[in-house]
Amino acid sequence: MLAQPPTVTRLRPEPDPKRTVAPREPAAPARLLPSVSIVEQTMGQARRTLAQALAGALLIILGLTAEHWLFSNAHQRAAERHARAQRVAGELRLADQRLTSAAQMLVATGQQRWVERYDSHLPELERALDEARQLAPANVQQHFDARTRAANTELGDMREAAFEALTVGEPDVAREIFEGERYRRQAALLAEATAEFTAATVAATQEDLATMRRYELALSVAVLAGATLLGLALWRGLAVRLARSRRVFLDAEDRMQRLAASDLLTGLANRAALHDAMATAMARSARDGRSLAALMIDLDRFKPINDRHGHMVGDLVLKEVAHRMRRVLRGNEIQARYGGDEFVVAIEERGDPTVAATVAERIVQVLSETIQVGELVLSIGASVGIARYPDDATDADQLLRRADSALYRAKRSGRGRVCFYDHHIDERVAERSLLEHELREGIAAGQFVPFYQPIVSLDDGSVRGVEMLCRWAHPERGLLAPAAFIELAEETGQIDALLISVLRRACADMQAWPADWRLSVNLAPQQMLDPAAVPQLLAVLREHGVPPQRLDVELTETALVTDTARARETMTAMKRAGMTVTLDDFGTGYSSLSYLAEMAFDKIKIDRSFVHSLHERAESAKIVEAVIGLSRSLGVVAVAEGAETEQDVRALRALGCAQAQGYLFGRPMPAIDLLALRPPAPAPLQPQAPQPPQEPITPAEPATA
């Protein structure tokens, strides 16, 4: 990577940081509130549209009803006028006929009664004419009056003259008047005018009726057209509102899909969207014959920022990281936030295999530049693991797993590193990761069982205690020795759970042991620095009714070197509780004598490497003799590990060693075999007849739970 002067990016902190307790992630329900308002808005629009439609339908119904009522009344009135006109026409004709008959009878008989009859019918004619005038249009009435005024006057005069002639006894004069040409002409004129008048009145009322029908038809058509236009307008308004609501819903759906596919804090794609995008990119790479590189990026020194300055500052840093990554990458390259402080980038290598490495180094470079948040100047970094498709993986999940495996190796080899996936190396890392997962599940499932190796007194061959050694009864791998998992348990922080699980079973086994047998338990270095270690041990002992005096805790010098003061406190708490403490593997460290001087151990275990070379190297015999003498002078018990032969036992007894353990007295065994163990007879002061070792002498087992 090219060296570059560090730059400082200033970020404005969020307001009122003291009120921020949890990580400032926007809550998902709050981002969905716009959708609720959209639904309410759409429902409101639907209600308004429905109200308008109902109002329009009601208006149409009212209009049609009013039109029907108005025109029905008008039509009825027009029909009544037409009927009256026809009736009046009939009455006029009848009155005219009666008058004519009366006049004819008067002329024929000359009798006075026909005069009276004539006079009685004359008002009928007048009433009919008055009613006809009311029904007739003004112009028809005026025309009728103009034509009949003179005739009526002249006829009236002639009738008066005729009636007077009859009154004085001159019927011939009256007959002459009625039969005269002048009377007939005026009567014919009056009859013709009356006929025309009545016909015109009937025609006028009939025309009014026809006009009313035409108006009714026109208004019906207009109302129907208005209703149609109103319906079309309502439909158009409804369609517009539905289209607007559809657009709003589509926009909301698109926004929700984008929110569902993106990280709310950084704006990058989230894990779900990453898998879809990578599947598409891998298909395109396979089609074009190109490789696709997946870069798994993990931030260095990010957790201390969160712990020390709070999640608000951590969120600002993550936003800045996303911003810097966008500056480095092209817009069409896949960028995603994979986890808390993990990011993924996918790059299509277009015939240039160095593109991924160049981009990764550039990302590491820009993320190593300092960031300023308010008055804080923060420094982070990044490690990158790279895997390629199709060389390293065949699908997106496998590609990401292998990029993560390369990232794990980059983190272990130091910060700010870029590592490519290596089939051979990363398979071991993957195996370790799998074993770590199985270890956690195995502890929860109770797959770890205690094995025991007896610790024998060299004076009489009796069993004084047993050392607890852990075995993993793996359902697939079989029975595993501590070398396969103890170191992993210590590194992953699972050693405490492992210790408690196995110790519980050992305490249950102790119920069947002789009361003078003690149990030796190895503690890991980090357990000696844990203030809760002694309370946990005591809690398990109390749970099974085992006195603390029957527990012997074995420590290595590594547990003392890390923090001598804390180790001394833990050791003092153990002894105060009644436990005994043994210094294990004595002689292999560089400061064992100083620890013996500072701490009051109850036992010293001589490392098996000295016992194995006891007969071949004089220096080993001298060291063993010196350690035994030192233990005698300090008043502690010396225990020799690795006693494999009778010759070893004789030599250790000659040097004054008190106790020993090794394959000669018994291999690590389950509790059921331990109970079958019988101490040797005290006469020969020899241990049990040993079984020849059926497997080579192995180094000391690692410290177990």
* Contact criterion met (CB below 8 Å) for 75 and 212: yes
516-535 per-position pLDDT tens digit = 999 999 998 888 888 899 99
Burial class (CB in 10 A: 0-12, 13-18, 19+), 296: buried
Is the pLDDT reported for residue 406 higher than 70? yes
Q: Rounded to the nearest 5°, which phi and psi values hold at 431?
A: -65, -40
Q: How many helices (H) and strands (E) does the chain have?
A: 23, 17
82, 209 Cβ separation under 8 angstroms: yes
Q: Which token pair is 436?
A: 């770590």
Closest CA to 560 of 536, 586, 521, 537: 586
Q: What pLDDT band is residue 689 in, cutting at 50, 70 and 90?
A: very low
Range ranked top by mean pLDDT from 60-69, 215-224, 500-509: 500-509
Cβ neighbours, 10 Å, residue 276: 12
Domain boundaries, the chain: 36-240, 265-421, 434-674
pTM over 0.85: no
Amino acid at 536: Q
d(Cα 680, Cα 693) in Å, to the nearest integer? 19
Tens-place pLDDT, residues 39-65: 676 677 777 777 877 887 787 788 777
Does the structure show a pLDDT above 60 at 590?
no
Q: What is the pLDDT of residues 257-267, one digit of tens each?
A: 666 667 888 88
Peptide bond into 390 cis (omega under 30): yes
- Strand locations in 423-507 (E): 448-457, 463-474, 478-480
**pLDDT score recorded for residue 425:** 80
Rounded to the nearest integer, the mean pLDDT of the chain is 80
Q: What is the distance between the alpha carbons of residues 605 and 640, in angstroms, rounded to a whole number?
A: 6
Tokens read off for 416: 């700010």
Residue 549 has a pLDDT of 95
* Residue 10 three-state SS: strand
- Ranking 184-188, 327-331, 383-387 by mean pLDDT, the lowest is 184-188
For residue 443, pLDDT beyond 90: yes
Q: How far is CA 426 from CA 240, 387, 430, in A?
A: 61, 11, 6
265-421, what's its fold? Alpha-Beta Plaits (3.30.70)
Residue 688: pLDDT band by 50, 70, 90 thresholds?
very low
Domains 265-421 and 434-674 share a fold: no
Which residue type is seen at 238?
L
Axis crossing angle, helix 112-135 with helix 138-167, rounded to the nearest 10: 170
As to burial, measured by CB atoms within 10 angstroms (0-12 exposed, 13-18 middle, 19+ buried), residue 456 is buried
Q: Which residues face 480 on adjacent strands?
A: 472
The CATH superfamily assigned to 434-674 is EAL domain (3.20.20.450)
Q: What are phi and psi of 86, to 5 degrees?
A: -65, -40
- Band of pLDDT at residue 149, cut at 50, 70 and 90: low
- The CATH fold of domain 36-240: Four Helix Bundle (Hemerythrin (Met), subunit A) (1.20.120)
pLDDT at 167: 75
Sign of CA dihedral 432, 434, 437, 442: negative
Res. 22: pLDDT tops 60: no
Please give the average per-residue pLDDT across 132-144, as a whole number.
Answer: 73
Lowest mean pLDDT among 34-38, 81-85, 344-348, 592-596: 34-38
Please state the separation of Cα 379 from the chain's center in Å. 33
Q: Which helix (H) or strand (E) holds 521?
A: strand 518-522
Residue pair 694/672 in contact (Cβ under 8 Å)? The answer is no
Give the pLDDT band (50/70/90) at residue 472: very high
Report which of residues 328 and 16 the model is more confident about: 328
Rounded to an integer, what distance in angstroms lies between the CA atom of residue 124 and that of residue 536?
Answer: 134
Mean pLDDT throughout 406-414?
Answer: 87
Backbone φ, ψ for residue 684 (5° rounding): -75, -10
d(CA 403, CA 536): 40
